[in-house]
Amino acid sequence: MTKMTPFTPALCDIAKWAFTTRRVNRNDVRGVSTAYSSAKAGDLLLCEIAEIGQHKNIQLADRRMSTSYPGDLVVLCLGDRYAPDQFLASAVIDDDKIDLVAGGGIAGRVDTSHARMSSPTRLKPMGLLTGTRGQVLNIADYALSAMPANNDVTVIGVFGASMNSGKTTAATSLAHGLIRSGYAAAGVKATGTGAFGDFNSFEDGGAPALDFTDAGMATTFRMPLERIEAGFDTLVATAAARGAEVVVVEIADGVFQQETRDILKSSRIRDRLDGILFAAPDALSALGGVTVLNQMGLTPFAISGMVSCSPLATAEAAEVTGLPILSRQDLWSPEMIALHVATLMRRASEDVAA
């Protein structure tokens, strides 16, 4: 390993702390460990930026973007990443340099990448951050207190055909439309890679937001389904305890991504959903996604996403799926909420009463 600069707490004071670390109490840091062979996903890692590559910015804990420079110190989380349009990466440190695999603050080893991606930004690990007992600090140490499932609040899941299908726009537009319709709505990102974009989008639309980093996971890729389910329960119950009567839950990536597939196939998350909104980039993806969901015994109440940006694609998707195609402007509309979503909420209330 490369010889490291001697650690002092002052290094953490000048470091840029990424979004994934936003819940960490920085006063807990006492030292560093170089026991990299035993490092695990979510461990806090102090790094120096060695070479600027694909990611030229870091999303900071205070939810703003910071331009990166060689020599910058950053505090990130070790983590896996699944992104067909970007990187497939593993939560390992097996060299004297590692990769910045996501701008929200994930470091690891890039295993494969999309052809259009540049080489990853390279990092020099300076050590895993440790606490008062010498233990490596992990963002799971700062998670919300676990809560049992809340069965009273309405939960609407937003799934998509793929990355960049328009899931976030659909989810945040739905939450905004619910608020405009007089409902107390909250947004939850239950799976994915830690980043502030989806979080901020919910709050921009007026919906208080929570995500899986609040449940102690920097990413949910390669996390056991039981842990993702427990995080989902806590996030939904926390939103309900803070006043939400309906929670819009976005599930990352496409229906063939492993964790998403497991959720849809058989999980507490699937069983808890009162309705599904599906996002697709085009008519073929809309039909394929609806077909996959139908094979699993699920039917979305509507389709949204990129397909809704084109009148021609909208007409095609409506014809082949037989479902309403809702643009983000439609989802903002109290009339559309009353037509397509209010019935789901009434049904959920009746189920609770029964």
Within a domain: 304: yes
Q: What is the pTM of this model?
A: 0.94
Note whether 164 and 110 are same-domain residues.
no
The 3-state DSSP class for residue 319 equals helix
Within a domain: 332: yes
User: d(Cα 140, Cα 230) in Å, to the nearest integer?
Assistant: 13
Note whether 177 and 136 are same-domain residues.
no
H or E, element range at 142: none
**262: which strand partners?**
none
Residue ending a domain, among 91, 119, 141, is: 141
Q: Of 136, 176, 114, 142, which is closest to residue 20 (Cα–Cα)?
A: 142
pLDDT at 44: 98
Note whether 199 and 278 are same-domain residues.
yes
**Residue 203, CA distances (Å) to 46, 223, 294 in order:** 29, 26, 32
Note whether 39 and 127 are same-domain residues.
yes
- The domain total for the chain is 2
pLDDT at 60: 98
Within a domain: 146: no
Note whether 327 and 200 are same-domain residues.
yes
pLDDT at 269: 98
Note whether 125 and 171 are same-domain residues.
no
CATH number at residue 327: 3.40.50.300
Whether residue 225 contacts residue 263, with contact meaning beta carbons closer than 8 Å, is answered with: yes
* Torsion region of 78: left, alpha or beta (phi above 0 gives left; psi -120 to 50 gives alpha): beta
Within a domain: 149: no
Within a domain: 257: yes
pLDDT at 343: 81
Whether residue 231 contacts residue 215, with contact meaning beta carbons closer than 8 Å, is answered with: yes
Note whether 50 and 124 are same-domain residues.
yes
User: Can you give the residue range of the structural domain that contains 297?
Assistant: 154-353
Tokens of 133: 């007992």
Note whether 276 and 241 are same-domain residues.
yes
Within a domain: 147: no
Tens digit of pLDDT at every position of the chain (354 positions): 444 556 777 888 999 999 999 999 999 999 999 999 999 999 999 999 999 999 999 999 999 999 999 999 999 999 999 999 999 999 999 989 999 999 999 999 999 999 999 999 999 999 999 999 999 999 999 999 999 999 999 999 999 998 889 999 999 999 999 999 999 999 999 999 999 999 999 999 999 999 999 999 999 999 999 999 999 999 999 999 999 999 999 999 999 999 999 999 999 999 999 999 999 999 999 999 999 999 999 999 999 999 999 999 999 999 999 999 999 999 999 999 999 888 887 565 666 555
Q: Of 206, 177, 179, which is closest to residue 339 (Cα–Cα)?
A: 177
Note whether 131 and 277 are same-domain residues.
no
Alpha helices in the chain (DSSP H): 9-14, 167-180, 196-204, 225-241, 258-265, 268-272, 283-295, 311-321, 328-332, 334-340, 342-353
Residue ending a domain, among 119, 141, 163, is: 141
**Residue 328, CA distances (Å) to 112, 200, 282, 307, 344 in order:** 34, 17, 15, 11, 19
Note whether 254 and 288 are same-domain residues.
yes
